[in-house]
Amino acid sequence: MSDKGENVYRVLVVDDDHGVCNSIQTMLGLCRFRVETANSGKQALELLGQNQYDLVITDYLMPLMRGDKVAEAAKQLSTEIPVIMITGFAEMLKPDPMFSGVDLIMAKPFSLEDLLVGIAKVFKRVGSSPDDQSVKNLNKSLSSCGLED
C-alpha cells in the first residue's frame, strides 16, 4: 500500500492529544515507519481519503468522533487495513462486537516494544501475505528496531 514506490510502512495515528501523536510518531520514526498524524476523526477521514496507509492507530475517546467510528471509516475505504485502537480505559480491553472495525485494542501507556508487537499481531490476524509489499516494509521496520515478526 505504500505510495509512490516508496519502501516504507505508512501509519496514520489519530489522537486528540498532540503529545500522544508526537510520542507515537517519534517512537515509530526510530524504526523507519512513515507516520502521519491527525488530531481529530474529521482530519483522519480527510487523510484517509487522500492517502493510502498500511495501518491506522486511533485513540478511542475523542471529541465529535470516537476511534471505533474512525476504524469503520478506514475499513470502508480498505477492508484490509489493520486498525489498532488505543485507550486509557482498561475495561475496554475486552473484545466487543461494537468494535468490529478494530483489529486490536491496546491500553495506554505502552512501550515501543509493546506497540511493535501489537502491529505484528494485527498483520498476522488480517492474513496479509508475506509477499505483500506492506508486509515486506513492516518486516524491514521491525528488524531495524531489533524485533523480528
CATH code for position 49: 3.40.50.2300
Cα of 46 vs its chain's centroid, Å? 16
**If we measure between CA atoms, which residue out of 10, 14, 9 comes closest to residue 86?**
14
- Residue 57 is predicted with a pLDDT of 97
Residue 143 in any domain: the answer is no
Provide CB contacts within 8 A for 23, sequence distance 6+. none
129 vs 9: which has the higher pLDDT: 9
Residue 122 — very low, low, confident or very high, per pLDDT cuts 50/70/90? confident
Instruction: State CA 43 to chain mean position distance.
Output: 15
Q: Is residue 144 assigned to a domain? A: no
> Has residue 145 been placed in a domain?
no
Q: What is the 3-state secondary structure (H, E, C) of the chain?
A: CCHHHCCCEEEEEECCCHHHHHHHHHHHHCCCEEEEEECCHHHHHHHHHHCCCCEEEEECCCCCCCHHHHHHHHHHHCCCCCEEEEECCHHHHCCCHHHCCCCEEEECCCCHHHHHHHHHHHHHHCCCCCCCHHHHHHHHHHHHCCCCC
Residue range 82-112, pLDDT digits in tens: 999 999 886 666 666 677 788 898 998 889 8
Could you give the number of structural domains in the chain?
1
Quick one: which of 109, 127, 119 has its CA closest to 53? Answer: 119
The answer to whether residue 7 scores a pLDDT higher than 80 is no
Provide the pLDDT confidence category of residue 127 given band limits of 50, 70 and 90: low
- Provide the mean pLDDT of the chain: 83
Residues 6+ positions from 10 with CB-CB distance below 8 Å:
1, 2, 3, 33, 34, 35, 36, 51, 52, 53, 54, 55
Q: Is the model's pLDDT at 43 over the cut of 90?
A: yes
Instruction: Give domain status of residue 141, yes or no.
Output: no
Tell me the pTM: 0.84
Residue 112 lies in a domain: yes
Q: Give residue 120's pLDDT.
A: 85
Please choose, from the candidates 93, 123, 115, 18, the residue with its C-alpha nearest in 3D space to the C-alpha of residue 139.
Answer: 123
Q: Which domain holds residue 116?
A: 3-134
